[in-house]
């Protein structure tokens, strides 16, 4: 007797359908002059849209910029109340901190500290606190009858040779360009892919080059040309070149000499109307010369 076989039809593979009305992105290469924003801020689930926009704007500014409520209200149309509410949101979530500081002349000013990744900052500070050596416990009192034995003197350990420190810029105005330049090095050579932590550490060194009059293109060539094979430590290679190849600052050009000012002409009385005029010698005013030609 033949047996009937029942074969169930397999279902169609599961696919994720994208809505034709969803966002579509057009990504272009950006020249130096942009800010790296983490998704933890751009897609924050508790911050309002105004607070996120304020955080992005503050992170894009150079250090030392004024970000008080009055300055922000002049820049944006939202008004002081909404801007103040956005700043308070950023403070609650750790993206902003405002502290007062007393200057040497007695004035008290407010200093605003902006954090691009507050959770990473808190984790780093906690790790540094844990790495600090604990105070040694108090030793028990030795008995007077047993004097302590003196340990044989040991030779001090040789100090580790610290590598040359990275150059530091005098002003922070070139840090944004320096950060973008380091992030784009991987476009020249994929082996120069640098993490954000190393970019933040190396950016002041690149800014020092830019501060000395070196163009961004020249800095890029100096950091990406003639790379060894293989590149085992991209960040160390870039740090070495920034330090070893640092060019000297350009000499200051003396200001142009001031032109000698000629003395003004002396006063003379007009020969036609006796009014005082400045001329090298006796002469007539323009109106008097015109009247004299008409009379002639």
3-state SS, residue 286: helix
Torsion of CA 184, 188, 190, 194, to 10 degrees: -30
Task: Please check whether residue 72 lies inside any domain of the structure.
Answer: yes
Please state, rounded to an integer, the average pLDDT across all residues of the chain: 79
For 108-115, what is the mean pLDDT?
87
Segment 229-275, tens digit of pLDDT? 888 899 999 999 999 888 888 777 666 766 666 777 777 777 767 77
- Rounded CA-CA distance 161/249 in Å is 27
Task: Please check whether residue 7 lies inside any domain of the structure.
Answer: no
- Read off the pLDDT band of 157 (50, 70, 90): very low
Residue 108 CB burial class (10 angstroms; 0-12, 13-18, ≥19): exposed
For 164-188, what is the mean pLDDT?
82
Of residues 187 and 145, more confidence is placed in 187
Task: Please check whether residue 4 lies inside any domain of the structure.
Answer: no
Those residues whose C-beta lies under 8 Å from the C-beta of residue 119, and which sit 6 or more positions away, are 40, 94
Task: Please check whether residue 228 lies inside any domain of the structure.
Answer: yes
Q: What is the pLDDT of residue 7?
A: 52
Q: What is the pLDDT of residue 296?
A: 57
Q: What is the pLDDT of residue 293?
A: 64
Q: Identify the CATH number of the domain in which residue 102 sits.
A: 1.10.10.10
What is the percentage of the chain residues whose pLDDT exceeds 90? 27
| Residue where a domain terminates, one of 229, 244, 259 | 244
What is the percentage of the chain residues whose pLDDT exceeds 70? 75
Number of domains observed in the structure of the chain: 2
pTM of the entire structure? 0.41
State yes or no: pLDDT of 43 exceeds 50: yes
Q: What is the pLDDT of residue 73?
A: 92
Task: Please check whether residue 191 lies inside any domain of the structure.
Answer: yes
Task: Please check whether residue 275 lies inside any domain of the structure.
Answer: no
- Rounded CA-CA distance 96/47 in Å is 13
Task: Please check whether residue 145 lies inside any domain of the structure.
Answer: no
Task: Please check whether residue 196 lies inside any domain of the structure.
Answer: yes
E strands within 22-118? 96-102, 108-114
Those residues whose C-beta lies under 8 Å from the C-beta of residue 42, and which sit 6 or more positions away, are 52, 56
Q: Residue 195's domain spans which residues?
A: 172-244
Segment 207-236, tens digit of pLDDT? 989 988 899 999 999 998 888 888 889 999
């Amino acid at each position: 007797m033949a047996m009937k076989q029942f074969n169930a039809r397999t279902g169609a593979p599961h696919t994720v359908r994208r809505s034709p009305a969803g966002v579509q992105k057009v990504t272009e290469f950006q020249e130096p002059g942009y800010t790296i924003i983490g998704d933890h801020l751009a897609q924050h689930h508790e911050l309002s849209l105004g607070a996120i926009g304020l955080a992005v704007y503050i992170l894009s500014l150079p250090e030392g910029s004024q970000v008080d409520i009055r300055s922000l209200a002049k820049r944006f149309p939202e008004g002081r109340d909404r801007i103040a509410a956005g700043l308070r949101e950023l403070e609650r979530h750790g993206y902003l901190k405002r502290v007062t500081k007393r200057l040497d002349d007695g004035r008290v000013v407010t200093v605003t500290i902006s954090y691009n990744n507050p959770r990473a900052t808190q984790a780093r500070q906690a790790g540094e606190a844990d790495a600090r050596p604990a105070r040694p416990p108090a030793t028990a009192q030795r008995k007077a009858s047993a004097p302590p034995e003196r340990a044989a003197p040991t030779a001090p350990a040789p100090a580790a040779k610290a590598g040359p420190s990275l150059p530091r810029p005098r002003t922070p105005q070139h840090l944004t360009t320096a950060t973008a330049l380091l992030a784009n090095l991987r476009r020249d050579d994929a082996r120069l892919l640098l993490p954000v932590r190393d970019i933040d550490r190396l950016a002041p060194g690149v800014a020092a080059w830019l501060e000395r009059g070196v163009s961004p293109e020249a800095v890029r060539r100096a950091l990406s040309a003639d790379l060894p094979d293989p590149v085992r430590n991209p960040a160390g290679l870039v740090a070495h070149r920034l330090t070893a190849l640092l060019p000297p600052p350009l000499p200051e050009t003396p200001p142009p000499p001031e032109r000698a000012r000629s003395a003004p002409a002396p006063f003379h009385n007009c020969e036609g109307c006796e009014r005082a005029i400045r001329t090298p010698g006796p002469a007539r005013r323009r109106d008097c010369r015109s009247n004299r030609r008409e009379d002639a």
